[in-house]
């Protein structure tokens, strides 16, 4: 969870410093789902700590367990709602917000059918990835359970992905129409689908590292397909798409940011691997 906090902070800082115009529109129009995402992440982390490390095991564990499960489901849904809002084309440009109602500016931009479908797709995607990672952490008795959950999540991901794209195409959403007609996007999705076969083979063979790597590569190709179509114009408003490079900051700011990220990477990445190794050691000692 500490690693998740680091990546989120880095992402927010990069958007805020390097792409202020894009950040301003994104945070202003989608501040409600983004706030709920951060709240869900916080509640999930808190629930995990109190559920797992609480000194006393009593009825409060039921509350922590419920909080953990609920936030684990809600967080990726609102993350998907945010992504749906970014590409659905319903965001009101800040220069025109005063001519629209609160619902049009702050609700309809992300709470629509396409965004809702995207939210459920994100949740299924997270469930798929989580089940793949958990397969390598459980004993043989529980392994079959998570393999079944992973297979169900795979079916749900593929089904929701198809339904979301079909609805977006039939609704004339520019992002989806261009996505389907872009050779790079379709190729990335096909590669992601083909990787399912070696993924399941590696799971059945008990090759944990390979199965996790393949699952991660699949997610990468899905995200690549979602961004390559219109990059750098990856924010859609009612008046057209907006480039992430629009109204860029001074070159000196970008240079300082780049150097800071390189230095930070050198310091953070070794610490991250040490953190993972430490938690693995704790689990072994607890057994």
Number of domains in the chain: 2
Residues 177 and 257 in one domain: no
CA distance 211 to 214: 5
pLDDT (tens digit, 9 = 90+) per residue, 107-145?
988 999 999 999 999 999 888 888 888 777 777 777 777
> 81's torsion region: left (phi>0), alpha (psi -120 to 50) or beta?
alpha
pLDDT at 131: 82
pLDDT at 280: 66
Question: Which domain covers residue 287, as residue numbers?
Answer: 251-287
DSSP letter at 173?
-
Whether residue 222 is contained in a domain is answered as no
Whether residue 281 is contained in a domain is answered as yes
By the 8 A CB rule, do 111 and 51 touch? no
**Average pLDDT over every residue of 221-247:** 84
Nearest residue to 26 via CA among 236, 225, 193: 236
pLDDT (tens digit, 9 = 90+) per residue, 143-194?
777 777 777 888 888 899 899 999 999 988 888 888 888 899 999 999 988 9
- Using 50, 70 and 90 to split pLDDT, how confident is the model at 278? confident
Residues above pLDDT 90, as percent of the chain: 18
pLDDT at 111: 92
Residues 92 and 65 in one domain: yes
pLDDT at 283: 57
234 versus 259: the higher-pLDDT residue is: 259
By the 8 A CB rule, do 128 and 274 touch? no
CA dihedral 191, 196, 197, 201 (to 10 degrees): 140
Residues 124 and 82 in one domain: yes
Packing angle between helix 174-181 and helix 140-170, nearest 10 degrees?
110
Whether residue 157 is contained in a domain is answered as yes
Residues 66 and 173 in one domain: yes
Whether residue 217 is contained in a domain is answered as no
Which stretches of the chain are DSSP H helices?
2-18, 20-29, 31-53, 60-88, 102, 113-135, 140-170, 174-181, 183-194, 196-204, 208-228, 251-286
pLDDT at 51: 76
pLDDT at 116: 94
pLDDT (tens digit, 9 = 90+) per residue, 68-82?
889 889 999 999 999
> 58's torsion region: left (phi>0), alpha (psi -120 to 50) or beta?
beta
pLDDT at 113: 93
Residues 239 and 268 in one domain: no
CA distance 32 to 47: 22
- Structure tokens that stand for 251 in this block: 């070159």
Residues 44 and 125 in one domain: yes
- Structure tokens that stand for 172 in this block: 């004339």
Residues 122 and 36 in one domain: yes
CA distance 199 to 16: 37
pLDDT at 191: 93
CA distance 16 to 27: 10
**Average pLDDT over every residue of 61-66:** 84
Give just the sign of the alpha carbon dihedral 254, 259, 265, 268: negative
């Amino acid at each position: 969870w500490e690693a998740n906090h680091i990546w989120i902070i880095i992402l927010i800082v990069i958007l805020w410093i390097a792409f202020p115009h894009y950040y301003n529109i994104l945070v202003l129009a989608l501040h409600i789902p983004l706030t709920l995402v951060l709240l869900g992440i916080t509640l999930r982390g808190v629930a995990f700590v109190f559920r797992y490390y609480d000194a006393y095991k009593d009825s409060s564990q039921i509350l922590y367990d419920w909080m953990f499960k609920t936030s684990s489901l809600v967080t990726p849904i609102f993350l998907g709602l945010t992504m749906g809002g970014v590409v659905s084309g319903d965001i009101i440009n800040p220069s025109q917000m005063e001519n629209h109602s609160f619902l049009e500016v702050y609700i309809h931009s992300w709470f629509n059918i396409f965004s809702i479908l995207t939210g459920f797709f994100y949740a299924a995607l997270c469930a798929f990835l989580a089940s793949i990672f958990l397969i390598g952490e459980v004993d043989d008795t529980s392994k079959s359970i998570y393999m079944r959950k992973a297979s169900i999540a795979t079916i749900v991901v593929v089904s929701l992905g198809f339904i979301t794209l079909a609805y977006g195409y039939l609704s004339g959403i520019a992002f989806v129409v261009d996505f389907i007609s872009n050779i790079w996007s379709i190729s990335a999705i096909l590669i992601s689908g083909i990787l399912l076969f070696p993924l399941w083979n590696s799971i059945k063979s008990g090759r944990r590292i390979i199965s996790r790597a393949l699952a991660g590569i699949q997610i990468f190709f899905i995200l690549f397909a979602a961004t390559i179509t219109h990059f750098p114009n990856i924010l859609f408003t009612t008046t057209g798409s907006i480039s992430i490079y629009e109204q860029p900051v001074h070159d000196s700011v970008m240079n300082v940011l780049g150097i800071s990220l390189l230095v930070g990477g050198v310091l953070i990445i070794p610490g991250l691997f040490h953190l993972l190794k430490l938690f693995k050691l704790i689990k072994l000692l607890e057994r």
